[in-house]
Structure 1
Amino acid sequence: MTNNLKPARVVAPGRILSRELDARGWTQKDLAKIIKRPPQTINEIIQGTKQITPETAIELSQALGTSPTFWTNLEANYRLFLANKQKDDSDIERRSRLYTVAPVAELIKRQWIKPTEFLDELEKNICDFLGINSPLESPKLAVNFRHNDQLDPEKSSLISWMKRVEYLAKKRKIEKFKLEQLKTAIPNILAYSEKEEQIINLPKLFKDLGIHFIMVPHLNKTYLDGAMFYLEKNPVIALTLRYNRIDYFWFTLMHEIGHIFAGHQGLYLDNMDQLEDNEQESEANQLARDWLIHPDALEGFIQQKKGKFSSQDISDFANIHKRHPGIILGRLHYDKLVPYQNLRKYLVRVNSYLTEYVDR
């Protein structure tokens, strides 16, 4: 705690006040009670949205052991500093706003927007990409935005990824979607899970079913594996191939199909490592598990092998049930029945079969 505060440079009064509270171990509410002001007033001073009046300066000086002129001078100098910089900072503030609403560097790197040295043009490019008229607006998505936040994803990157998926889906002509037709087609979809090269048949199958099938690599700090949402009346399934493995591919795909199958509405952005704990996610998870490996067959296999699974055991079981061995191994890894580092030869990569369909 200091009794004679002398700022060495122009600094926001709220920052000084915040430091003083930290030094004393006080909260904003503590100070509000001491000077008999609403907690909101203290918060607004600290955030810089409320100026320190002479009356408040006197109260702060009494509470913190400083002079009233310290706070009035601090406030005056800071406001003068802001006034002098307002014109110079206008472009900086605009750029800051643009970099807040979108991961600008990554959008340029992926050629989703054109690079430019002109601020007006950059702002227009970003607004056009996000479908907004001004950086002050919130981008509007095809449906309500909901995402997994257990890994603290960057929301602007999530929105940008979704807008790219939405843009690609809108460019495609597709058949009318019928839920009953999808339900009937589940065995046909799963028939392609026996061999990795059969994955190449999926895009056409989904197109015929009236489902947009989009693959866009995830943006940094989104932690995304896949998404499902509706564009008009057609479902959109989008995958990132964040983990380029056959087990992740098929579980993510069937999980998103599970959302459609179960009639879940709204937008689902899913991270398979830490899915949100709610009924709809649990239902989609269970559908994916049961479709890929029948629970009774899996239980019988586990009981028969008594916790010891050889490479041949997994291969034979996979052949009987017409699934790729990597799908079986991925489930055994997930259930911690096989050490994660074992038999990874079965976890083959899938991106080479989908190259022409992955957004570049």
Structure 2
Amino acid sequence: MEMTLEKYKGIHPGLILERELKKRKLKKRPFALSLPEYPQIINDITKGKRNLTPEVSLKIDRALGLEEGTMYLLQAYYTIKAEQLKERIKQRPDLSLFRKALFWDTDPNKLDWARQYKSIIRRIFERGDSREKQAVLDFYGKERIKQVIGTTSVSGNLAIFDQNK
């Protein structure tokens, strides 16, 4: 199996294992028993329900003729990507504070709250209620809100718009 790891970064190694087994016309159960591993373990790995351990990874690498550590390296890339996703989720306010109607045309989970801050702030200050405005104020801070909506005063959940702008 010749592969460039760049192409597979962030993909669960079980999906790659599943594809490789199909490509080689190997059934999961006999493959698992040949390692020797429980078939349930290999099945869970190929379905993305279980992560690879170094031990199982080495067995799979040897059985498929891969360079040792290949599958575990893919597991590491997948784990890193999952952690990055968790961090990105932390970099947004509590979405339960916002009504679904406020983001009727988009999925708030897919918004980049750091890059799209101008449109998010404008939308919430145009259409949001006081609780939603307060959540955005707490998340972005008064200065950023002032910068975006052009107010002379941002106090708590109220924004007084500057009439000259």
TM-score, normalization: structure 2?
0.51
Task: Give the letter for the 1:117 counterpart.
Answer: L
| Aligned equivalents of 1:20, 1:41: Cα separation in 2 | 17
Cα offset, 1:37, TM superposition: 0.9
Cα distance, 1:30 vs. partner?
2.1
Deviation by residue 1:96-129 (Cα, 9 ceiling, x = unmatched): xxxxxxxxxxxxxxxxxx961359xx9xxxxxxx
- 1:89 and 1:14 mapped to 2: Cα distance? 24
2:3 counterpart SS class: coil
- Partner residue of 1:116? 101
Which one-letter code corresponds to 2:3 in the other structure? Answer: L
Counterpart-to-counterpart distance in 1, 2:35 and 2:89: 35
**Alpha carbons 1:60, 1:68 under 8 Å: kept:** no
Between structures 1 and 2, the one with greater helix share: 2
CA distance in 2, matches of 1:49, 1:89: 21
Task: Provide Cα deviations, 1:298-348, integer angstroms capped at 9, x if missing partner.
Answer: xxxxxxxxxxxxxxxxxxxxxxxxxxxxxxxxxxxxxxxxxxxxxxxxxxx
- Match of 1:72, SS state, is helix
Report what 1:83 is aligned to.
83
Provide the rounded CA distance (Å) in 1 between the counterparts of 2:41 and 2:88: 29
Equivalent residues in 2 for 1:1-360, closer than 5 Å: 2=1, 4-7=2-5, 8-10=7-9, 11-88=11-88, 116-118=101-103
Structure 2, gaps ≥5 residues long: 91-98, 108-165
Structure 1: which 4+ aligned runs deviate by more than 3 Å?
A: 87-90
Give how far 1:70 is off.
Answer: 0.7
TM score, norm. by length of structure 1: 0.25
Q: 1:5 touches 1:70 (CA, 8 Å); kept in 2?
A: no
In structure 1, distance between residues paired with 2:68 and 2:53 = 10
1:173 is matched with which residue? none
Instruction: Give the Cα separation in 2 of the matches to 1:54 and 1:14.
Output: 14
Alpha-carbon offset, residue 24 of structure 1: 0.9
Would the aligned equivalents of 2:8 and 2:74 in 1 still touch at CA under 8 Å? no
For 2:18 and 2:78, how far apart are their aligned partners in 1? Answer: 16
Compared with structure 1, are the counterparts of its residues 37 and 9 closer, same or farther at alpha carbon in structure 2 (3 Å cutoff)?
Answer: closer
What is the root-mean-square deviation of aligned Cα atoms in Å? Answer: 2.8
Question: Equivalent residue for 1:106?
Answer: none
Structure whose CA Rg is larger: 1
* Contact 2:54 2:72 (8 Å CA) reproduced: yes
Question: Contact 1:12–1:75 at 8 Å: present in 2 too?
Answer: yes
Amino-acid identity (%): 26
- Contact 2:52/2:75, CA 8 A, preserved across alignment: yes
Report the AA paired with residue 70 of structure 2.
F
